[in-house]
Structure formats: structure tokens, C-alpha cells
Amino acid sequence: MLAKTITFIGGGNMARSLIGGLLTTENSSTHIRVVDPNADQRQLLANLGIATYADAMDALTGSDVLVLAVKPQIMAEVAKSLASFVQQHRPLVVSVAAGIRCHDLERWLGGNVAIVRTMPNTTALVLSGATGLFANGHVSSDQKGQAESLMRAVGICVWLAIEKDLDTVTAVSGSGPAYYFLMMEAMIAAGEQMGLDNKTATLLTVQTALGAAKMALESHTPPAQLRAQVTSPNGTTERAIQTFEQHHLRETVLTAMQAAQQRADELAQQLGASA
């Protein structure tokens, strides 16, 4: 994406993460612009050598890619304000806002717009994100490459053929970090109740989570097989796993993720109908 000018509408955490990732690759800060009404946000990015603007109209000229990184609740208003430029210049529009469906965003932008909708997660903040992407019918193969390069700057990407599957991505990886944080929270609390101090229980729990994730990612062995490999017959791990199974851990996870998927669909309908 070296020759492409990317303008971020919104300079919050996700935008700053993407920009940080881009700056670690071949991209020059001269090809990146950010629009944000908040002076403090602009200053953080200006410190990285990024051109910042308080008003979008001052930043749009020559933009090849627009990254919409604003809160979903104000997306309709922001998109409508950009519609004239988008209709005239036809940039690729990449949305990182949760719950905004392509047809609603395209409608607000005036129609016939190349849009890639993404569902990143908060681990993008440490360049370890997992992002689902969906391209509408106006996106070219070159533009798909641009969007993928953008999101790969903060982690891995998977393309989806059906936009509806982004609701499932939301349930799996979008909300997923919180599931693991909850498990860590529970393990730390259990460790303390069983006699460890907080610092020790926290360090052991977090490092174990990191190591398990690293093994699962790098070994190319299915998690079920990895679990079996560390579960000795009649040992301590087997006793713990049996207890999890007796308390229906799998069913609880499925029910929770289905609830997240359903809520993602509800929010998309509400956001689309509100403007």
C-alpha cells in the first residue's frame, strides 16, 4: 500500500493501532492522514509524524482509502458528510465499526461504493489481532489486497464470503478476548484462594495463557490433541478437565457465543434502522 494515501476518519485506539502497524511495514507516514475533532487525539498522532486534521474536508483530497474508525452510533452522520467526496472520487471505504452492515453504509454514502467491512478485536492494540473481512460487490481484487494489507498490519485476517458470518466472527474473536480475560480472572482468584499471592497467581496464569496460545498457533496441532497430550491418565490435569466437563463447560461456551452472535445481529438491525 506504499503508493496509496490512507485517510482515517477517527483517531481512537483502533486507528492508532492500525497506523502503528502500518508504520512498522514499508508505509511512510506521508501517505497517512487522520481526521479527529479531539485535539489530544490529533497530537498523539502528530507525534508520530502523521498529518492530522480537525475537519474531514481538509484531509480528503487525494485519498485512495478511507478508513471509517468512528463509533457506530455516529457512523450514519459521518458517512453522510463524506458522501459527496466518495461519489465523486470513488475511494475504497474500509469500516472498522462494529455492527454497521455494508448495505446501510453504502446507502449513507450515496450508493455504488466499494466497501470492505471488518471485524477486528482489541488484541490489535498489541499487533496480535484477529480480523474478519467482507467485501461488497463493488470491491476490486486490487482493493481487497489494499484492505488485507491494512488489517494484516495488526494481526491475521480471514475473508468471509457471507456478510452474515461477521456476526459469528464477532462472537468468536471480536468478543473473544474478554472470554479469555474472564478465565484468567477466575484462575487468578482460585490461585489466591488456594494460597498464592496475587502477583504470583497473576504471573503464572497470564504466562500460561500466552504459552498455550503460542503452542496452539505455532504447532499446527488441533487444540483437542494438544489438550490430550498434556492430560496424563489419572493425573491432576485429567481430574480438572473432568470437573470442567461435569459442569458443562462446552455447553456454557456455546450458549454464551450464541448470545453474542444474536446480540450482534440485533445491534446491526438497530443501527441500520436508526438513520
Domain span(s) for CATH 3.40.50.720 in the chain: 6-164
Q: By percentage, how much of the chain surpasses pLDDT 70?
A: 97
State the DSSP string of 234-248: TSHHHHHHHHHHHTT
Domain span(s) for CATH 1.10.3730.10 in the chain: 174-264
Q: What angle do CA 90, 92, 95 make, to 5 degrees?
A: 130
CATH number at 174-264: 1.10.3730.10
pLDDT category of residue 24 using cuts at 50, 70 and 90: confident
State the average pLDDT over residues 7-26: 89
Query: Quick one: CA dihedral 233, 235, 241, 246, positive or negative?
Result: positive
For residue 271, the cross-strand partners are: none
Nearest to 60 by CA among 7, 10, 113: 7
Q: What is the pLDDT of residues 33-86, one digit of tens each?
A: 999 999 999 999 999 889 999 999 889 999 999 999 999 999 999 999 999 999
The yes-or-no verdict on residue 275 having pLDDT over 80 is no
Q: Which CATH class is domain 6-164?
A: alpha beta
Higher per-residue pLDDT: 109 or 98: 109
Q: By percentage, how much of the chain surpasses pLDDT 90?
A: 88
Q: What is the pLDDT of residues 209-231, one digit of tens each?
A: 999 999 999 998 999 999 999 99
State the DSSP string of 94-159: EE--TT--HHHHHHHTTSS--EEEEE--GGGGGT-EEEEEEE-TT--HHHHHHHHHHHHTTEEEEE
